[in-house]
Structures are given as structure tokens and as C-alpha cells.
Chain A
Amino acid sequence: MSDDAQRPPDNYPRIFVGTGSCGLAAGAAGVFDAARQWVREASQDIHLVRTGCLGMCHREPVLEIHLPGRSRVVYGEVRAEQVADLLTRHFYQPELEGVPQVVGQRAPDHESRPYENVPLLTELAFFSGQRQRLLARAGRIDPHSLVDYETEGGYGGIRAALGMKPQEVRDRVRRSGLSGRGGGGFLTADKWELAASQPDGQRYVIANGDEGDPGAFSDRTLLESDPHAVIEGLMIAAWATGASRGFIYTRAAYATVIHRLEVALAFCVKRGYLGDNIFGSGFALDIQLRKGSGSYICGEETALIATLEGRPPMPDEKPPRPAQRGFMGHPTVVNNVETLACVSHQFVTPPDSADQADGGAAATKLLSLSGAIARPGVVEVPLGTPLRQVIFDIGGGVGGNGNGDAARKFKAVLVGGPDGGFLPASLLDTPVDFAALRAVGSTLGSGALVVVDDTACMVGLARYFSRFEADASCGKCVPCRVGTTRLVERLDRIVQGRATRAELTTLEHLCGVIRDGSLCGLGRAAPTPVTTALTHFYADFEAHIAGHCPTGACDREQTAGEA
């Protein structure tokens, strides 16, 4: 655990190792150990820091070196056995040209000197299309450190908010136009206002970090890289709505997230940033960390509350909304962690024009890029950026070191998790925007973009994601519980070439019953992979009815299944 009390002086050389989940999966622990070994043997004082992820999952493990007076250099795809040589060379023979692991250098400040012939990160295609606000600190700072966070203005937002009346805070969030980043896209201010207007004075705030969509990992990156931003956002939400207790709810499987939140919260409590009299304002807030109950549905706010209360993870019908009757029957604001990071950001760095406000043209959204894409990772783009630009310019298009193959063509992208369904190439000019995606039958949802290349069969994929939805169904309501299983059974018949054309009609009908009859958003969106596949890739279904899989993927899968 890094403790600010034992923090070395700022003029020490610093080595950063990205030890977020993606880094650890790529071997960052070995890289860190090797760096520590090298530091021990080095004849000078060096500050070795664990950081989160700067978003370049495709270059993990990432190691950065910051020598006093020089710009900070990012190395990628570093193997543990290369660390010693790499550090020695950087510290003692600072000639970086031609070093394959060099990714780029961060922009130097006025006191430091850049390296020759090393690109700035912002010049890289991966970063040049992004606009990083929430990710600005990701991978750069020590996620635990209050000093690091406060140096960047952190906890200035809550201080500013405490100087305002709760109504003024809510009004300012309303003016920002901030809408929920968790998928619903509702105006955050509406939710807060609804909770604040309830006569019941016992209110709660919950940060929802129960990220469950396949291909979604931006919440994880945010919480691992910059947990204080979420905590501060939750504090502001609590002040604005009159809540005295808060929860941060995240997946039990996110071990690194849990550890970083535990440490960050402990520091806050130790410093009195959380407690009975925050910053001497008289504002009292207790925030507790809760691990999710492991079920996909726990990310749905009413199911999340159910598990907090000790009930099984099943959603309740809305209305009444949690802001009216939530945790233990009291008004409860549930905000996605990204939404809360937006809140803290706008109070730390007040938007100076409507353009920069969260609903404005320059507002950003975190996206997780994965699947058959050249540069998988977490990116932050201005709302309105066309999907094509995200996938091709930032993500590098189909192929690369993702699961895809550079020779293949783009076929579809799954947007916002299974709930958003598939969009074909013809819709790639759709902007990343809540309304625009809804208009084409999709959703921005969790911000996951899973790219599919032309080796994939859309019937097979629709079946795969239907199976996911059927398994994820909590079982509470009939249309989702029985309907999703029936969906899988019918798709099985199509995949196996046993279905008739008439069954496609029944399939569509079944999708309609699930969509219209289900209790919660998960159920209502469960048929989306099928309906969007039917809409945009009907030919794949027709081919199956005619007896063959157009890509052979289904045949291969069945052969593998039989083997």
C-alpha cells in the first residue's frame, strides 16, 4: 500500500508500472518485481509507483519512466526479463530511438526537456482522436494517493460543492446536462431532484460499479486508475441530495478495484474526508464498499438494492423508482461510477462554457474496445464521435493483436453490450450518442464496443448472446425466464439447419413478447442481439434455413462440440 506519509520527495526519479487488471493479466506483476529488484540494486533513490491503466490495453504491460527534468516516457509490451536492461539504458544511456518497447512520451512541462525522435502520446492515432477528461489521470497517478489526486485539484470539487446549497449543486448539474453514463442516459439532475424532493429524510447514494456486460471494462479501468474521482463524485451526490450514507458497489470479481477502493476509502476516513464533519462543514457521510452478488442482474439498480438489503438479486418494477423508494424503502440515488466521475470532474474543473458541459458537444464518454480490433483498450471520446472514427482511427480497424485477423473485413459491432445489439457497416457513421444510437435500435449502454469480423456468423453470435442473456436472467418474470430459453432453443434449430422459414416469424414474435412483457431493462433488451441480427443480417438466417452457414463458423463450432 502506498502511503502518502512515506512518500519520497518529488525530485526523485520515478518508475511507474501499470498494475491494473489488464496489465496484471499481461504480466505486470513480473515487470513490477523486476523493476523493484533493479531499484534495490540501483545506486540512487528512485520512487517506484503502481498505477492503473492508461487505456492502451493492447500495449500491456506498460512501464513508464520519469527522470527529473525530462519528459515521461511510456514503454509498452514490456517483458519482465527486459526490465533491467531497459531501465539501465533509460537511466544511463538515454538514447531511446529504435527501442522497440517505446510507445511515446507524455507532453513535457516547462521544466522538462523532451526526448528526440520519440512521439508524443497525443500524436499517436490511439490518442489523437480521444478527448481525455476522466482518463486524464488514468495510468499517470498513484490511484491511492490523496496527494497525487489533490495535486490535480481533487477534493476541490466537494469543497466547492459544500460552499453551495444542495439546490445550487443540483442546479449546476442540471445546467451541465449530465446524463447517466450507465446506459439509461437519464438526466442525472432529474434523479437527484426526485430523491431530494421526497419527504423521507433518510436518503442514500450508491455508486454503481457492477460492470457486467461482455466486453465492458471502462468502469474497472476508471476505478483502478482514479478511485478518488468516484468517491468525490459520490460525496457531491450525497451533499446534493441530503444523503448521509453511501455505498460503492462493485463486482466481487474485480479484486484490484476492491483493493484500491478499500485503500482510498481508508485514506479518506483517516484524513476526515469522510466522517461526521467533512471539511468542517458539518456534512456527515459514511461510504461503505459492497461487493456484488455475482449475478449479471446486480448491475440493474433495483436488483443491486435488493442484494444490499440481503434479498436475492432480482429487480423490482419501476416506478416506484429507487429515488422514490429504494434502499430499505428510503429514497436512494443510484449513479454509475462514470457518471459520478463526471460530477467530480465538473466541480473540480468547472466548465467554462456550455460547450464543455457534460451534455454539450464536448462531453465525453468512456468506451471499451474489444473483439476483432487492432487496438483494444479503454478510450474516451467526445459524444458525437462517429463509430467509424472510434473503430478505425482510434481502434485501428479490424485485426491487429486482438482476436481478429488483419486480413478480414469488418462485419458488425456489438454496441453497449448485448442490450445494444449489432450494427452493420452501413451504420458506422452513427455517432456515439445516446439518442442517435437509440434511433437505430441500439443503445450506448455500458459503452462496450465488440467488433466482429467477417469470419463470424451472425446467427451463431445471436445464439451466443441469447445464451448469455438466458443464463443472466434472474428468473423472476416469465417472459425473460422462459422466453430467453425458448429463444436459445429456436436459434439452436436454426444454427443446426433444422428450422423452417416460418420459424423466423415465430422467433420475431417471441422477441416481441420478451421485449414488451419483461419486468426490467435486462429482459426488455434481451432479444436485441436477435432482433438486430434479423434486421441487419437476414441473409445469414436465410442461408441457415437453406441449410448452410454462410461463414462456416456454425459448422466449425458444431464439429468442435462433437469432437
Chain B
Amino acid sequence: MNIGTNSGTNSGTATAPAVSLNIDGQPVTVEAGRTILEAARTVGVDIPTLCYDAKTKPFGGCRVCLVKVAGSERPVAACTTPCGDGMVVDTQGSRDLVRDVLNLQMSDHPENCTVCAASGHTALHDLAETFGAAATDRDNPFAGTRREQAAETINPFIVRDYNACIQCGKCIRVCDEARGVVAIGWKGGSFNLKVTAPFDDVLDCEFCGHCVDVCPTGSLREKMAEGAPQPDRTVTTICGYCGVGCGMHVQLAGDQVVRITPEYGNPSNDGALCVKGKFGYDFIQHRERLGVPGKGERVTGPLVRKNGRLEPASWDEALDMVGRRLLEIRAAHGPEAIAGMPSAKCTNEENYAFQKMLRGGLVTNHIDHCTRLCHAASTKGLIMALGTGAMTNSTDDFEAADVIFCCGTNTIENHPVSALKLKRAVRKGARLIVADPRRIELAEWADIWLDLQPGTNSALLLGMLHVILAEDLVDHAFIAARTEGFEAVRQAAQRYTPEFSATITGVAPHKIMEAARLYGRANAAAIYNGMGITQHISGTDNMLCLTNLALATGNVGRLGTGVNPLRGQNNVQGSCDMAGIPTELPGYQLIADPAVRAKFGNAWGTPIPDWIGKTLVEITDAAHAGEIKAIYVLGENPILSDPDVNKTTEALKNLDLLVVQDIFLTETAALAHVVLPGASFLEKDGTFTNTDRRVQRVRAALPTPPGAMDDLKIIMEVSRRIGLTMNYRSPEDVWDEIRSLWPGVAGISYARLEQGGIQWPCPSEDHPGTPFLYAETFPIGRARFYPVEFIPSAELPDAEYPLMLTTGRWLLHYHTGSMTRRSRGIDEALPEGFVEIHPDDAERIGVVADQPVRVTSRRGTITVRALVSHRSRPGVVFIPFHFAEAAANALTNTALDPKCKIPELKVCAVHIEAAAAPAAKG
């Protein structure tokens, strides 16, 4: 992750003096402090290593990088020894010694190494061959007894076969230094030194698999790859889970995925993945996958509802029915009766084609999708204040900031790989402020944890602004030169003294002051936010509080600053960019602008509806009311993701036509009239845009299953049947059309993307892309301050519903669980939902850990296991929304933020009671 190129201000970089040395006859000049190994690599001299990992501090244990240095009485390890001026290095001079070291190593490595599953593919085996080390004990002068350390195979993901371990410690070091997890360490010493989980217990960690990816032997292996054939090809693509956008190599044997490994050099992840990206891909082969031939209950192709039941149908029958019914409904009720939900999981190209079909073909603007539920407030607030609805900066800026303010983002669980940059920044000395009601792991990393009551963000942020104004920590020059509306904000903040703010938020006044001073005095302070800010009726106001803070202190338009909503889905940035929203056309070009409509109308050869469409919850409300008759859902599961499950279900049942294009028969698809099996992310071709606005190339590793169809093709087929013919031969054709209509990506071609992702805006082919926005200007001229007042949440606890419920995600799972709950390992690791409850509350209610409880709100009831934990504060409970059978959104409130229509998913009132006697502990 750009360790070398980080020009972070927190490290106070002084240019190190250079040293010159000679390596194998070549003169080399490097900055002082570089090791011989690093210097050698700059001139292409390859020194072998086993224990070296560029992401961690050098170890020096494997001794295969021993080189001769003139004047030194013994060989030195190239990986640890700093270059000295005038040093003369002979990398070949210690070959015999290295061979003997490898002989020693092989004498304690399984003798069948050369015929094991990983044969020929491990660094150890390759080196032993290169150096002529003994493959068998018969040839090994140092043969002897071997360690006996039992393999562990019972954790869900990783085979830990310690007889093959060479104690190089890479796994331990990446777990600590690259991941900040420290799940494993050394046990004992000498010959029986062993890598273990605490107390030599079964591994129970985040299961990011980083240790597996760096293991130089077959000691750590993916359980999923056991028994699989050797891979014969590799496809590089982008992970289909979250918005981080990790590059990954899919190793394949024929059409079987053997394993997934991280891409190095991709700025999003550079060699790291999380549990979902590394191990969570097997849902694509799950027996419930649509369109895959097989025995039993499998759905092998499209489904059409006949006599109230979903029955198998041919593709022609299904597609014809979709086209015919859409046209009939439009004819009968007008285009306003039709709505579409594009998908943050699909490619830019698919989303573009989908909204084109709806707008150009069906002439409706009722287009919205799950972005409404996550970051509608972020985009709305950022567009109002700064002009563009995306992260101002990048996740790389974690490492460029002096002070990081994480506000309502559980980054470590929800953006685990971006969090690595954050953790590294903190370890290098950046200061961290975390505002979150729960004592999440991120809070443990913080200098200041602002433990606010849910729903009181604006009061907290106004309190901080008050201190910044009172202590004159503002950037007067920036305010004068680049903003407007400051005075009104100054007045609005006046009454929010830390003491007053504390009465609303529950955060101690001194902590509010300290946080304000830390943020206000920083040279570069970056704000990152998540849904803790947005999913409130005050979501947009909260966001404006953040932009006010950043503008007041001049923390916009520079490296390591900004206001950065971390986007949730792999392509939610792209699905918004592609106008999967009611008010804009691709590239945030306003529908209300006749010139914009004319541009797109001309390009598409269709009229563009000029009215403003409905937002997500408004669409379901309209369906409930019978105003909207048809909804076409592309890869979304609104029943679980939208607030108030019961109401959403009723609304969808009320439709004349529900079309669901998905890879599983989700809770939503089960209600559909037509189900169209689509392609998974590993079968897609096109582009995703990650949370950094980085457009990245997605490549199909696998063919679409026989009974399924490529999503772009489905859209084109439906589009043709409603009278709008699209003649795209490939996703690249679609992308080129996008480029021609949105100047922000005009410079991004597929050819350029072969070299790596590019961050928009990128107006021309010679433009490098834009890591941070607003260096010179704002698209709206001057940035705007907006005065904000604190508004309490719509539904607060009362006598009947005495607890506050907040919702969110859990590291292992993803969104509505349609993918992760069909991944064997992940399901094994966390098979069911829970309600996180503080011990005080648990005691008062009379429940103990693991006991089933009934959670009831004004909208519904679920039964779920109690997780008694100090992570939640007293009076507040937390439920992740991944689990259909215990759906958090059966309880949540549909109250909307009037500015951006985001529902208040983060706060509602509930009542909890014991559902049964506590189960005996097994």
C-alpha cells in the first residue's frame, strides 16, 4: 500500500543522505538506511529470501540471503544489513553456506516435500532445487529427526500443517505489522519453536488469510483448496464484496476456482484481502445458485410465476414476459407506474445500460437503489457543500493525515483492507479520533473515543465546532478565499458549548474539547464517515456538520484532508456515477437541466423523462399505495436491506409485475413474477469504481453458468423487447459510450485500465486521474457552509420500548448475507445472528449470554441470540442486518431524512424479553 511512496506528513520525512556501494560488480546508490537486499533489487540482482516480506520489518531468520561483504569476518544477511558507503557485496560468495543452511532446513521439513500438493509451487522447494540442497534424507549430510507438530484442520478456513513450517515467522509478522491483529505468535523456542494461536488453541481470528498468502511452504493452506488440482491459469480481477476494491488473482484449474490471492501493487489493497475476499467466493457454486445445472432442488434457469408458483421457464418465455408486461403496464398506467432498482454489485456498464433501458426505453425516472440506504446523506451533503458527491480524498490519505477523525464508520469491520492503512498510520504516529456509540475495535486504536448516544452526531460535531471557533483554530485565509456562509454557521454553533453538547450526546465535555483541539490544530486532518452519520433523519445535517468542520479549518483540497464517506458496496460509487438515482443522469448531470437531457436524448435516440423520480423508500411506499405497478430489481434484496420488512413485503406483493434479476432466489426474488438468473462477480466483464473513485477493470474468471445469462445481455434482451435496441458487442462498447457522455471519465479507456485503476475525474487520456478533489476550485465556485441545528431521532426509547436499537454489520458477513451465508467457511464461523447487549441491560432483563431473546419494535418482532458484551453501551442494543431469520430491518424505522430520503436505520426503540430458558452450555 504505497509504503515507499507515502509522503505522509506524520513521519516528518527528511531526505536521507545517499550511500554508494558495489553489488556483484555493479555500482548502486541508495538512500542511507536501505538494506543490501533492497539495494540489490534496485539493480535487478536477485538475492533469494524465505522470511522476507516487504510489508514487515526484516527478520533475518531463514539465512538464505547471506552474502559476502568485503572486510566482514562472516557472511551477513542482506535483508537486515544496512548498506554502508563503499561496501563491496558479493551475493554469490556464500552459496555453499546457503546450500548447507537449506540442507539443515530440509532435514526438518517433510521428506516428501517434492511430491506434496504444493510441490514446485513453494518458495522453499524452488530454492532447494536452485541451490542443489538435498531433497531426501539419503542425500542430506545433516539428516536427523523431525519435529512432530500436529496439523490443525478444524478451524473453518485454514489448514495449519506445522510439520511443513520453516519458522520463518512471516505469518506472525504480517498478522501483527500488516494487519494489526496479532492472532498468532511464537510458542517455546529452540528446535520445537512453534507458531500458535494463544494457548496453542484452535485458530480463532479474523481469518483474513494473509498468513496463508505469504507462507513460503505448504504449511498454511486454504482449506477450500485441499484436494483441488493444481491451478493452470490466473485471472486478475476486483473483489465483489465491499467498496475497498481489492485487486485479486483468481487461480483456476479449468473452470474450478482453486484459490484467490491478493494483487500486489494495487493501491486499494497491495497484497491484502479480508476473509470475504479471500475465502468468501464459494457462494458462486452454492447449490442454491440460479442457473446451475444439477440434481435435487436446483433452479437451473429462469422462473416465471404461474398460478401463484414460480415455475421453470425458457429464457425466451421469461424475457418475452418481462417485455410484454412492462409494455402493458406502461400502456395501462403510464411510465410513472414503473420503477427500477439497479445494483451496486453490478458493473458500471450493466448499471448504465439498465438505467438507459428504464429512462430511454420505458421513459421513467423512478430509479433508485440501496445507495439511498447507505450514503444518500453523504452524497447529498457533499454536493450541497462542495459540489461532488464522492470522497474528496482517498483511503491512501489515512497515511498522509496527522489526525484522522473516523465518525460513524466501523472501518475495521466494514472496510477491513482500507483499515490496514489506518492502522499503519496510527502506528506511525497519526492521531485518531473515533466517534461511535459502540466500543468497536477501532475505538481501541483511538487517542480519543467519543462515545456518543446514537442519533446525536450533530450535537457532538456542533460542540467540536464551537470549541474550534471559541479557541480560534479556524483557517481564516481559507474561509475568506474559498467559502461562503461562514457567519451563519458561527452563530448557529454559539450555543453548543461542550457542556451543552455533553448533555445531548453523553460525551464528556473535556473529550469534546480535546477532540476539537486535536482536529483543529492538525496540519492535515482527514474525516472518514460511514453510516453512523448518514442513517438518521438528520443524516444530511450530520454530513453538513462534517463539511463545516473541514471548511472552517481549511481541511479540504489537500493531501491527507477532506470529508470521505467510505462506500459500502463494491460498485456503489459506480452505480451512483451511472445514475442509478432518480435525479441525475450519468456523471451527476442533472435531469432538470434541458441541455443535459438533450445531450443524452440525442446520443440514445430516445426522449428523456424530465420529471423527478422517486427515491427507494418512496418507491416501495408508492407500490404499497398501488401507484407503482411494476418494479424491475437488478441484484438487490430490498426486503432485508430496506427498513420495515413487513411493509416492504406487502408493497412488493402488491405489484402487478416484479422482475428480479439475481444469482439467488433471495427473499425478494421469492415474491417475483419473473426471476432472471444473472452472473456473479467472478463471471463479469467490465469495470467497478471503488470508494476512492478508482475505476478498475473486472475480468471474468469463469463462464456464466449454462442456465444463467450475462447481466448486460439480459438487459439488452429486455431492452430490445420494449423497443430500445442496444448494439453493444462488449462492455467496452458501453464504457466508450459512457466516456463520450461524461467528461469526468473521458480519459479512462480500457486500454489504460490494463495498467491499473484510475481515479476520476480524468478528463483526457493524458490525465493521471485525481487522488483528491478541490485542490484549486470547487465545481460550485465557493464551498458553502450550512448552519445546522440538532434534531433528535424520530423514535426514542420510552416506557413501552425502553431500549435503543442500532444496526450495522459484522466483519465476517456482508449485507443481507445472500453471498456470505452461502459461503461454507463463513457460515461455519458465524452461522446465526445475535443482539449485542450490555451486561447491565442483560441482567435487568434477566437474560444470559447465548440465550434466545425476543426483540420487538412498533413494526415487528424477531427472536435472536443474546451476545452479552461491553461493546454496546447501557441502554443501546445492536443487531447486524445480515440474517434473514432474525432480520434487523423487521424492527427498524422508516422515518426519512427530508433532505435526502435516507431512512433512520440507526435508531429506533425496542423492547427485549427472554424467549426461552438459557440453553445448557455445550
Interface residues of B (CB under 8 A from A): 58-63, 66, 74-77, 80-82, 97, 100-101, 104-105, 107-108, 141-142, 144-145, 166-167, 169, 185-186, 188-193
Flag if A474 contacts B60 (CB, 8 Å).
Answer: no
Q: A475-B188, A481-B167 are in contact. List 7 more A-B contacts (CB 8 A).
A: A317-B60, A317-B76, A475-B190, A477-B60, A479-B104, A486-B104, A509-B100
B60 touching A478, Cβ below 8 Å:
no
Q: Evaluate contact between B190 and A519: CB separation under 8 angstroms.
A: no
Can you give 29 contacting A-B residue pairs, CB < 8 Å? A295-B189, A312-B186, A314-B186, A316-B60, A316-B80, A317-B60, A317-B77, A470-B190, A471-B190, A474-B190, A474-B193, A475-B191, A475-B193, A477-B61, A477-B62, A477-B63, A478-B61, A478-B166, A483-B104, A485-B191, A486-B104, A486-B142, A506-B142, A510-B141, A513-B101, A513-B142, A516-B75, A519-B60, A519-B61
What is the CA–CA distance of A482 and B80 in the complex, to the nearest angstrom? Answer: 21
| Set of chain B residues within 8 Å of A320, measured between Cβ atoms | 82
Minimum distance in angstroms from A108 CB to a CB of chain B: 53
Residue in contact with B190 in the complex, picked from A312, A481, A509, CB distance below 8 Å: A481
Q: Which of A472, A475, A489, A517 contacts B144 (CB 8 A)?
A: A489
Task: Give CA–CA (A515, B97) in the complex, Å.
Answer: 11
Pairwise interchain contact B190-A489, C-beta atoms closer than 8 A: no
Chain B binding surface, main DSSP class: loop
* B141-A509 in contact (CB<8A): yes
Once bound together, how far apart are the Cα atoms of A472 and B190, in whole Å?
7
Bound Cα distance A478, B98 (Å)? 11
* B142 to A, closest residue via Cβ: A486
B63 cross-chain contacts in A, Cβ below 8 A? 477-479, 517-519
- Residues of chain B lying within 8 A (CB to CB) of residue A79: none
* A319 contacts chain B at the CB level, 8 A cutoff: yes
Report the Cα distance A297→B193, complex, angstroms: 14
Within 8 A of B (CB), among A448-484: 470-479, 481-484
Taken together as a complex, chains A and B put the C-alpha atoms of A337 and B300 apart, in Å, by 78
Complex-state Cα separation, A252 to B644, whole angstroms: 62
Contact A513 B97, beta carbon cutoff 8 Å? yes
Cβ-defined contact, A517 with B100, below 8 A: yes
Asked whether A133 is an interface residue with its Cβ less than 8 Å from the other chain, the reply is no
**Is A524's beta carbon under 8 Å from chain B?**
yes
A312 to B193, CA, bound (A): 11
Between B100, B189, B193, the greatest number of chain A beta carbons within 10 A of the residue's beta carbon is seen for B189
Interface size on A, residues (CB 8 A): 36
Residues of B within 8 A of A295 (CB): 189
> Which of B101, B185, B186, B192 is most buried by chain A, counting CB atoms within 10 A of its CB?
B101
Tell me whether B77 and A319 are in contact (CB under 8 A).
no
CB-nearest residue of chain A to B59: A476
- The answer to whether A519 and B189 have CB atoms under 8 Å apart is no
- A506 contact set on B, CB distance < 8 A: 141-142
* Residue on A nearest B107 in the bound complex, by CB: A482
CB contacts (< 8 Å) of A519 on chain B: these are: 60-61, 63, 77
Point out the residues of chain A lying under 8 angstroms from B97, CB to CB. Answer: 513, 516-517
Q: Which of A367-407 contact B (CB under 8 A)?
A: none
Taking the closest CB of chain B, its distance from the CB of A199, in whole angstroms, is 9
Contact with B along A285-328 (1 / 0, CB 8 A): 00000000001010000000000000011101101100000000
B249 to chain A, nearest CB (A): 30
The contact of B145 among A297, A473, A489, by CB within 8 Å, is A489
In Å, the complex CA distance between A513 and B96 comes to: 10
Annotate A99-126 by CB proximity to B: 1 below 8 A, 0 otherwise.
0000000000000000000000000000
Residues of chain A contacted by B77 (CB below 8 angstroms): 317, 519
Residue positions of A touching B, CB distance < 8 A = 295, 297, 312-314, 316-317, 319-320, 470-479, 481-486, 489, 506, 509-510, 513, 515-519, 524
Chain B contacts for A475, CB-based, 8 A: 167, 186, 188-193
- Which one of B142, B169, B185 contacts A482 once the chains associate, using CB atoms below 8 Å? B142
Complex alpha-carbon distance, A173 and B101, angstroms: 42
A304 to B355 Cα, complex, angstroms: 65
B101 touches A479 (CB 8 A): yes
Which 9 pairs across A and B sit closest by C-beta, in order of nearness?
A475-B193, A317-B80, A317-B60, A482-B104, A485-B191, A513-B100, A473-B190, A475-B189, A476-B61
Give which listed residue, A312, A473, A483, contacts B142 with CB less than 8 A: A483
Residues on B with beta carbons closer than 8 Å to the beta carbon of A297: 189
- Complex contact A486–B144 (CB within 8 A): yes
- Whether A478 pairs with B189 at a CB distance below 8 angstroms is no
**Bound: A516/B186 CA distance, A:** 25
Contact of A317 among B81, B142, B144 (CB under 8 A): B81
Residue of A nearest to B62 (CB): A478
Q: When chains A and B are docked, how far (Å) is the Cα of A525 from the Cα of B783?
A: 69
Set of chain B residues within 8 Å of A476, measured between Cβ atoms: 59-61, 167, 169, 193
Bound complex: CA A110 to CA B192 (Å): 63
Q: Specify which of B142, B167, B188, B190 lies most central, judged by the most chain A CB atoms within 10 Å of its CB.
A: B190
Min CB distance, A520 to chain B, in Å?
A: 9
Q: In the complex, are the beta carbons of B189 and A474 less than 8 A apart?
A: yes
Bound complex: CA A544 to CA B236 (Å): 62
Instruction: Find chain B residues with CB under 8 A from A313 CB.
Output: 189
Are A478 and B101 closer than 8 Å at their CB atoms? yes
Chain B residue contacts of A485, Cβ below 8 A: 144-145, 190-191
Tell which of A481, A506, A515 has the most Cβ of chain B within 10 Å: A481
Chain B residues near A479 (CB-CB < 8 A): 63, 101, 104
Residue of A nearest to B192 (CB): A475
Question: Chain A nearest CB: distance from B142 CB in Å?
Answer: 5
Q: Which residues of B contact A486 (CB under 8 A)?
A: 104, 107, 142, 144
Among A312, A319, A471, A506, chain B packs the most CB atoms within 10 A around the CB of A312
In the complex, what residues of B have CB within 8 A of residue A474's CB?
189-190, 193
Which chain A residues lie closer than 8 Å to B107 at the CB level? 482, 486
Q: How far is the CA of A471 from the CA of B193 in the complex (A)?
A: 11
**Chain B CB within 10 Å — which of A297, A316, A478 has the most?**
A478
Please give the distance in Å from A535's CB to the nearest CB on chain B.
Answer: 19
Cα distance, A486 to B191, chains bound together (Å): 10
Q: Which A residues lie within 8 Å of B191 (CB)?
A: 470, 473, 475, 481-482, 484-485
Q: How far is the CA of A481 from the CA of B166 in the complex (A)?
A: 10
Distance (Å) between the CB of A527 and the closest chain B CB?
13
**B74 and A516 within 8 A (CB):** yes
Q: Find chain B residues with CB under 8 A from A312 CB.
A: 185-186
- Shortest distance in angstroms between A419's beta carbon and chain B's nearest beta carbon? 15
Most chain A CB inside 10 Å of its own CB: which residue of B63, B77, B169: B63
In the complex, what distance in Å separates the CA atom of A489 from the CA atom of B97? 21
Closest to B84 in A: A319
Q: Is B105 a contact partner of A478 (Cβ separation < 8 A)?
A: yes
Least distance between B110 CB and chain A CB atoms (Å): 14
Q: Which residues does chain A contribute within 8 Å of B189, judged by CB atoms? A: 295, 297, 313, 473-475
> Which residues of chain A are within 8 angstroms of B188 by Cβ–Cβ distance?
475
The listed residue with most A CB atoms (<10 A of its CB), out of B76, B108, B144, is B144
Q: How far is it, in angstroms, between the C-alpha of A142 and the C-alpha of B395 when the chains are bound?
A: 63
Minimum CB–CB distance from B613 to chain A (whole Å) comes to 57
Taking the closest CB of chain A, its distance from the CB of B86, in whole angstroms, is: 15
What residue in chain A is nearest B14 (Cβ atoms)? A199
A contact residues around B169 at 8 Å (CB)? 476
Contacts of B145 in A (CB 8 A): 485, 489
Chain B nearest CB: distance from A302 CB in Å?
A: 10
A475 to B192, CA, bound (A): 8
Q: How far is the CA of A142 from the CA of B197 in the complex (A)?
A: 48
Q: Least Cβ distance of A532 to chain B in Å?
A: 18
Q: In the complex, what residues of A have CB within 8 A of residue B192's CB?
A: 475
**A517 & B193 in contact (Cβ 8 Å cutoff):** no
Complex CA–CA separation, A479 to B166 (angstroms):
12
CB-based contact A319/B190 at 8 Å: no
A510 CB contacts on chain B under 8 angstroms: 141-142
B186 to chain A, nearest CB (A): 5
- In whole angstroms, what is the CA distance A475 to B75 when docked? 19
The CA of A67 and the CA of B622, in the complex, are separated in Å by 108
Select from chain B the residue with minimum beta-carbon distance to A524: B74
In the bound assembly, the distance between CA atoms of A128 and B66 in angstroms comes to 50
A472 to B189 CA separation, bound complex (whole angstroms): 8
